[in-house]
Amino acid sequence: MTSKSETTSGAVSRRRLIKGAGLAAAGSALAAPAIAQGNPEVKWRMPMFVPKTVESVMDSANDIVRRVSDLTDGKFQIQQFGAGEIVPGGPAVLNAAEEGTVECGFTLSYYSFGKDPAYAFGSTLPFGPTLRGHYAWLFKNGGMELLNEFYESKGTHAIPCGNSTMQMGGFYRKEIKTLEDLKGLKMRIPGLGGLVMSKLGVIPQQISPGDIYSSLERGTIDAAEWAAPYDDFKFGFHKVAPFYYAPGWWEPQATIWLHVNKKKWDELPKNYKAVLEAACIATCTTHNAKSDVLNSGGLRSLIAAGTQLRYFSKEIMDASYDAAFKTFDEMGTKSPAWAKIYPAWKKHIDENELYYRVGDNTYENYIYGRRVKG
Amino acid sequence: MTSKSETTSGAVSRRRLIKGAGLAAAGSALAAPAIAQGNPEVKWRMPMFVPKTVESVMDSANDIVRRVSDLTDGKFQIQQFGAGEIVPGGPAVLNAAEEGTVECGFTLSYYSFGKDPAYAFGSTLPFGPTLRGHYAWLFKNGGMELLNEFYESKGTHAIPCGNSTMQMGGFYRKEIKTLEDLKGLKMRIPGLGGLVMSKLGVIPQQISPGDIYSSLERGTIDAAEWAAPYDDFKFGFHKVAPFYYAPGWWEPQATIWLHVNKKKWDELPKNYKAVLEAACIATCTTHNAKSDVLNSGGLRSLIAAGTQLRYFSKEIMDASYDAAFKTFDEMGTKSPAWAKIYPAWKKHIDENELYYRVGDNTYENYIYGRRVKG
């Protein structure tokens, strides 16, 4: 792949096209005097884990790119590439950022779960906190620093930049009422969620998004999880698997990060690091907001189209919860990074959920019940 | 008050001290050529609604100031002033920003509720959405634009910059079990919450934060609401009023905004507007996180100190809910701004709460119950 990085320093207007090395070779041109002359010109490529048609996720990508440009008077430009354009989706996006074939990648690190299970922490963990609890850990209780130790050991410095929020539990061709109904069920569910499900007898299937519909239709698989209602509706899975379950306990939030190649990050001027951080962290708030404005409408569309909304039974939730925490303990014996990060993550949820329960949860239970009543 | 605004344009290093006019008189020095020469130097004063000792709120103010400085290589400096330093707290902060005696103010607009009830919308409404629902309205469903029409008509352009999240229902000298127990209760509760409470027979008292403790101790008042557990504990109210109620239905989240004097806002270079927006909105993400890391510990400290945690009864919640929405209808006949904003706010909550209920709320009910069980 040919690098499109281009760096121009201040008023001197030097232009360089550097093959392969990106900003690296031009780094020396960005020292203190260059800053005094004005912001340097930087052009980065940002492959994404989704095609550009996934509107709910593009809201985050578009806002980051716009903010970075606005903050630098157009001097720092990031170009988005949908999955498959310059890099395939899935783990390839993070791989490319780690290896430096691109300057940065916009992705969920859990796609690299197979390489090291610790990649799951930054994205989501089954039965972990919902959005606010996860952000509390990341931003104000040491999570971001701890995860960046891990990411940097692999080749990127990363910043949270969006969240697809609480996921649904997927579409099923038949109702799932008891643990017995899960035995032998062929379900499209990747990563850690699939691993936990396999402890309950489910046979996890790795199927790329483009093949889920036809696999469900033909009955090659019995069930598939994808995302939250807005995106789920657009894929049309309800037409071939009418039972739609809540909640998606394996993904109670889904944090997207901007993974910046470590070398490129280190070469950025200090104020451009601040620009990336502010643009990404601001987008954490606004992207969640977008997801939240889309999903209720998506759920209504699904129900109007005949989708049968169901909730996992207590028996299934309890067995899944136990299987999840058992799996977490096993991961610690396989991954030193997991063994280091998990106790901090667990301590955070043990210590910081009390007030959500007493405050927000008590109040939300009341208002949601009351709104239905009118 | 003497203005401390000072503007230096690029490498030319002109220094001006302008009395009273702040950035305004220097505005012409910030035109396009100045940007090309580099970021102009801008110094602003930011009075706050709290003294600097309120740690949970200072986390937001400190992050904004740091981010604005980092994004501009130190060229854009904002100096914080605690309540009482250059402007008193309460509505005075927003007044000063509207009148332009300061460049900006860091406050909750509901303190100006007496001037126009529509000032409440930006901060919080009784029985309104919790944090995510409010942000969804502000950032991705038209709320921010609608509120800025109103704020700009009064003299500021405003950006959300933090959130004190779900509040508690306050401290009471005696248990409150029925509606009868509220009749004649003298309670420190300001603004719209107080107005709704008065419909239930409560006699709202306007008491400044510094006098709440002694008023409760002497029995001049029977109850007082302040904030969430971390801040509440530090005030020590539990020592003189042991019953602590959840939830604070009159304040299900509490958005702090940076109110920028409209004239000062219009004079800012485009990239400095982007800087303020990114710094404030990023702080929306991180300030909530800070509140969430502090409040569970605060609640534990209160309980360890003998505070009796109680929940409002369904009878009280139902009557309060009815009184709140009745009050909202009355406001529409008094304030044209309320009559314009309220239908948009109401439509947002009517249309966008379904998925919180089916997704997050279902899941959170499960995990919080399960965590207690172990």
| A310 within a domain of the structure (yes/no) | no
Q: What is the pLDDT of residue B22?
A: 36
With CA atoms as reference, the chain B residue closest to A276 would be B71
Q: How far apart are CA B340 and CA B75, in angstroms?
A: 39
Contacts of B133 in chain A (CB under 8 A): 292
Q: How far apart are CA B170 and CA B221, in angstroms?
A: 12
Contacts of B130 in chain A (CB under 8 A): 360, 363-364
Nearest to B9 by CA among B57, B56, B42: B42
Interface test with B, best of A293, A301, A346 (most B CBs within 10 A): A293
- B262 within 8 A of B155, measured Cβ to Cβ: yes
Contacts of B20 (CB under 8 A, 6+ apart): B2, B3
The residues that bridge with B243 in the sheet, in sequence order, are B172, B308
With CA atoms as reference, the chain B residue closest to A144 would be B286
A276-294: pLDDT as tens digits? 999 999 999 999 999 999 9
Question: What are residue B43's phi and psi, to 5 degrees?
Answer: -125, 125
With CA atoms as reference, the chain A residue closest to B136 would be A289
Contacts of A25 (CB under 8 A, 6+ apart): A16, A18
Q: How far apart are CA B54 and CA B296, in angstroms?
A: 17
B134-185: pLDDT as tens digits? 999 999 999 999 999 999 999 999 999 999 999 999 999 999 999 999 999 9
Contacts of B347 in chain A (CB under 8 A): none
Instruction: Tell which A residues from 288 to 317 touch B, by Cβ distance under 8 Å.
Output: 288-290, 292-293, 295-300, 309, 311, 317
A94-116: pLDDT as tens digits? 999 999 999 999 999 999 999 99
Q: How far apart are CA A74 and CA A38, in angstroms?
A: 12
Instruction: Tell which B residues from 327 to 356 touch A, by Cβ distance under 8 Å.
Output: 349-356
Query: Is A194 an interface residue toward B (CB < 8 Å)?
Result: no
CB nearest to A289's CB, from B135, B295, B366: B135
Interface test with B, best of A355, A365, A370 (most B CBs within 10 A): A355
| A174 within a domain of the structure (yes/no) | no
**Among A20-34, A207-221, A298-312, which range has the highest average pLDDT?**
A298-312
Contacts of A286 in chain B (CB under 8 A): 139-140, 281
CB nearest to B292's CB, from A132, A300, A363: A132
Ranges of beta strands (E only) in B2-98 are: 7-8, 41-47, 76-81
Q: What is the pLDDT of residue A55?
A: 87
Query: Is A368 an interface residue toward B (CB < 8 Å)?
Result: yes
Instruction: Tell which B residues from 144 to 183 touch A, by Cβ distance under 8 Å.
Output: 165-168
| B257 within a domain of the structure (yes/no) | yes
Q: What is the pLDDT of residue A372?
A: 84
* A282 with B278: Cβ contact below 8 A: yes
Question: What are residue B212's phi and psi, to 5 degrees?
Answer: -60, -50
Report residues of chain B scoring pLDDT below 50: 1-36
In a 10 Å sphere around its CB, with 0-12 CB exposed, 13-18 middle and 19+ buried, how is residue A285 labelled? buried
Q: What is the pLDDT of residue A224?
A: 98
Nearest to B112 by CA among B102, B127, B122, B103: B122
Query: Is B325 an interface residue toward A (CB < 8 Å)?
Result: no
| A321 within a domain of the structure (yes/no) | no
A57-76: pLDDT as tens digits? 999 999 999 999 999 999 99
What 3-state DSSP class applies to B367? Answer: helix
What does pLDDT average to over chain A?
90
What does pLDDT average to over chain B?
90
| B95 within a domain of the structure (yes/no) | yes
| A236 within a domain of the structure (yes/no) | no
Q: How far is CA B179 from CA A120, B169, B316, B319, in A?
A: 49, 15, 6, 8
Interface test with A, best of B12, B257, B293, B313 (most A CBs within 10 A): B293
- B251 within 8 A of B242, measured Cβ to Cβ: no
Alpha carbon dihedral A71, A73, A77, A82, in 10-degree steps, equals 60
Query: Is B62 an interface residue toward A (CB < 8 Å)?
Result: no
Residue A56 has pLDDT above 90, yes or no: no
Q: What is the pLDDT of residue B8?
A: 33
Alpha carbon dihedral B107, B155, B18, B23, in 10-degree steps, equals 80
- B188 within 8 A of B221, measured Cβ to Cβ: yes
| A204 within a domain of the structure (yes/no) | no
CB nearest to A246's CB, from B131, B297, B358: B358
Q: What is the pLDDT of residue B18?
A: 30
Q: What is the DSSP string of B214-283?
A: HHHHHTSSSEE--S-HHHHHHHTGGGT--EEEE--TT-S--EEEEEEEHHHHHHS-HHHHHHHHHHHHHH
- Residue B67 is part of which domain span? 40-165+253-292
Instruction: Tell which B residues from 199 to 238 touch A, by Cβ distance under 8 Å.
Output: 228-229
Q: How many domains does chain A have?
A: 1
What is the least distance, in Å, from the CA of A18 to any CA of chain B?
26
What is the least distance, in Å, from the CA of A230 to any CA of chain B?
10
Contacts of A57 in chain B (CB under 8 A): none
Q: Is the pTM of this model over 0.80?
A: yes
Q: What percent of chain A has pLDDT over 70?
A: 90
| B357 within a domain of the structure (yes/no) | no
What is the least distance, in Å, from the CA of B79 to any CA of chain A?
19
Half-sphere exposure at residue B48, Cβ-oriented, CA atoms within 13 angstroms: 22
A176-186: pLDDT as tens digits? 999 999 999 99
Q: What is the pLDDT of residue A345?
A: 98
CB nearest to A364's CB, from B130, B354, B358: B130
Question: Residue A364 belongs to what H/E stretch?
Answer: helix A362-373
B18-61: pLDDT as tens digits? 333 333 333 333 333 334 456 899 999 999 999 999 988 999 99
Q: What is the DSSP string of A112-159?
A: GTTT-GGGHHHH--TT---HHHHHHHHHHSSHHHHHHHHHHHHTEEEE
Interface test with B, best of A358, A370, A371 (most B CBs within 10 A): A358
Q: What percent of chain B has pLDDT over 90?
A: 85
What is the least distance, in Å, from the CA of A281 to any CA of chain B?
5
Q: What is the mean pLDDT of residues A355-369?
A: 98
Residue in the block written with tokens 């988005």: A80
**Which amino acid is located at A138 in the chain?**
L
Distance between start and end Cα atoms, chain B: 59
Residue A32 has pLDDT above 70, yes or no: no
* B70 with A271: Cβ contact below 8 A: yes
- A261 within 8 A of A103, measured Cβ to Cβ: yes
CB nearest to B139's CB, from A38, A289, A299: A289
CATH number of the domain enclosing B120: 3.40.190.170
